[in-house]
Each structure stands twice: as structure tokens, then as C-alpha cells.
Amino acid sequence: MLSRVANTFYWMVRYVERADNLARLVDVNQHLLLDFESLDSERLRDFWQPIISSTGDEEVFHEIYQNAGSHEVIHFLTDDPNNPNSIRSCIALARENARTVRDQLSDELWEELNSLYLFSQSDEAERLIVENPSRYYEAIRTGVMTFHGIASSTIARNEAWEFMDLGRHLERADKTTRFLDISSYLAKPSNGHGSMHQEESLHWTAILRSCSAMGAMRQKKNEANARNAIDLLIFDRDFPRSVRYCVERVDLCLHMISGSPRGSFANEAERESGKLFADLNYGSTRDVFSIGLHAFLDDLQARFNTIGEQVFESFVLMPERLQDKPVLTPQPLSAAAAWQQAQQQQ
């Protein structure tokens, strides 16, 4: 596959996944506001500021807006054309990437993404954002889930699929950590222990709902608190939005693309993903609290960025730019990995 085409598939799905996660984030927190009594302007700013900080677009936001009120934050994250990471911008970028590889997409997949794009640009969408925002975000989430379902049903399991799956799970892992990081910025209530416990429970419930994790939490019969949320959203082996699950999929996709057996690495992207997957395999919620939640999540986000950079350098970077890069010495194979490679070659 051409590196340009691979990069297009990768970013098409990353943008679609980013739009979905933003829709979840804004919708859940709008509903969370209803659980609080009337907030003054200062507490309202304290409510929305962590949401902006979690997206990583805080600097862009403050260049455009003076106040972090409900209207400003919702507009910025939903349909502000000046925000390259708003829902509307992400869907437009995903559609533009899809257009350049239109001949390699199924008709159904293109039609669904194009329909989602037309909806996001329509007068109906603008009306829903004002009059019935929950219905707007539900339409975005439904469109994205339909997109993923059609892709799963119509895309051959070749390199195109692996790059799509790689982009989806890398973006999802990143957004899960950013949703969790919201708790690091929350202002602590000062009107009694009972109130503090109630508000923290509401915030953790909102974070879990942003990741569609409340059902999984109920199945485990656990309370919505910091320890249980971290255990589910970072270390769970089965929940499809947990960081560990997503990193495992990222590592698997990279090895499927390169053809190297798992347990070894053929490029820096595989080395970084393998190290991160091993750390998550042997990590625990206790480690998170000993390091500090924000510091732990910040390190994860930096490592996701490193994997993304190495994916670009390993599969997209033009050959003339690779001339000055040192040659990567392949890691010696273990006996099991060598046997696996021999079986695959046979």
C-alpha cells in the first residue's frame, strides 16, 4: 500500500473517532449540569475549564474566547470553524480524507460518512444545537457507530483495515485518558464531606458515561469512584474502551502491518507500543495513585504521541528523509517468536 493512502485511512478514522468522543464528552457534561443547583459564573467556569483542559486545546480556546461559559465551550467543541478539533471540523477532515481514497472505500461506507458530513453542515444541525443539543450529539454518535459497523462489515482485512483499526484505537486510548484527566482539574467543594462525596460521585459517573462504561461498571457491581473508574478505564482487559485494551489492539495492528511476530519489533512504533503494553499488563491502580493520576495520564498521553510520531516515520515518511536516520537493529527473536515466524513463513 502507498504510504500516502495508508496515512489517509489512518487519519480518516482518527478524526471520526475524535468527533464521537467529543460528542460524548459535551453531551454527558451538559446533563451533569442538571444535577447541580444553579451555579454562579465562577463555579460555572470551574465546571467547564477542566473539559477544555482535557481536550488539549486550552491555548486555542483562550485565543478566541475570554470566558469559559457554557455557550462558549459548547460552541468551541461542537461547531466552531476556528477550532480544528471541533466535532464539525473533525467530520469535515474525515470526509476529505475519505474523498481522496474514494475508490478504495465501499459505497456504503462513503455514503454514511458523506451523510454525516452533510448533516453536520446543515441548518438542521445548527437548529438542534440550539434547541435540542442531546438529539444532535445522539445523531453524531449514531452516525459514527454506523460508520464503524459498515467498515467492519465491508472492508477487507488487509493493510487498509489495519491502518484504520490502528487509528481508531490509538485515538480512543488517548481520549479515554483525557476524560479521566478531567478529575485532576475539578475544584473541591467546601460545604461538607457529604456534599464532596456526592459531587465527586457525579463527576466520576459523568466520566464513565463519556466512555459508555456505566453498563460495564454495573456488571462489576462497583461504585462509581476514582479507584473503580481507573481500574476499569485503564487496566481492564475486556472493556473495549479501556487503555490497556486499545493499546493491545494498537500493538497487534502494527505487527499485522509489518508482518513481524509479536514479542519482537521491526520498527520504533512496535517497540514503543510493546513497551507500553507490557507496562499496562503489569501495572495496577495502586501504581497510579502512588505516581499521581495526572502525572500518570500525562505520561500515557506523551507515549501515545510518540507512537503516533513513530507510525508516521515508519510507514509514511518519504525515503529521502530517512537517509540520515540511524538503521534500526532488529531485536533478537526469542525461541518462541522464532518458531512463530518460521510457521508463518512456511
pLDDT tens string 114-136: 999 999 999 999 999 999 999 99
- In the prediction, which pLDDT does 333 show? 47
Sign of CA dihedral 91, 93, 94, 98: positive
pLDDT band at 330 (very low <50, low <70, confident <90, very high): very low
pLDDT band at 68 (very low <50, low <70, confident <90, very high): confident
- In the prediction, which pLDDT does 321 show? 52
Angle at 280 between CA 277 and CA 282, to 5 degrees: 110
Angle at 285 between CA 281 and CA 290, to 5 degrees: 115
pLDDT band at 287 (very low <50, low <70, confident <90, very high): very high
- In the prediction, which pLDDT does 98 show? 96
List pLDDT tens digits, range 186-222: 555 555 455 556 777 778 888 898 899 999 999 988 8
* Measured CA distances, 110 to 12, 125, 146 (Å): 11, 20, 12
pLDDT band at 342 (very low <50, low <70, confident <90, very high): low
- In the prediction, which pLDDT does 40 show? 47
Q: Answer yes or no: is pLDDT of 254 > 60.
A: yes
Q: Give Cα 252 distance to the centre of its chain.
A: 17
Nearest CA to 231 out of 18, 206, 220 is that of 220
User: Residue 225 phi/psi, 5° resolution?
Assistant: -135, 180
pLDDT band at 295 (very low <50, low <70, confident <90, very high): very high
CA 270 – CA 149 distance, rounded (Å): 27
- Please tell me which residue, 169 or 322, carries the higher pLDDT value: 169
CA 211 – CA 242 distance, rounded (Å): 9
- In the prediction, which pLDDT does 318 show? 56
Residues 6+ apart with CB under 8 A from 209: 24, 28
- In the prediction, which pLDDT does 346 show? 43
List pLDDT tens digits, range 1-26: 788 899 999 999 999 999 999 999 88
User: Residue 212 phi/psi, 5° resolution?
Assistant: 50, 40
| R_g (Cα) of the chain, nearest Å | 21
Q: Answer yes or no: is pLDDT of 69 > 50.
A: yes
- In the prediction, which pLDDT does 43 show? 56
Average pLDDT over residues 318-346: 49
| DSSP, res 211 | T
- Please tell me which residue, 329 or 99, carries the higher pLDDT value: 99
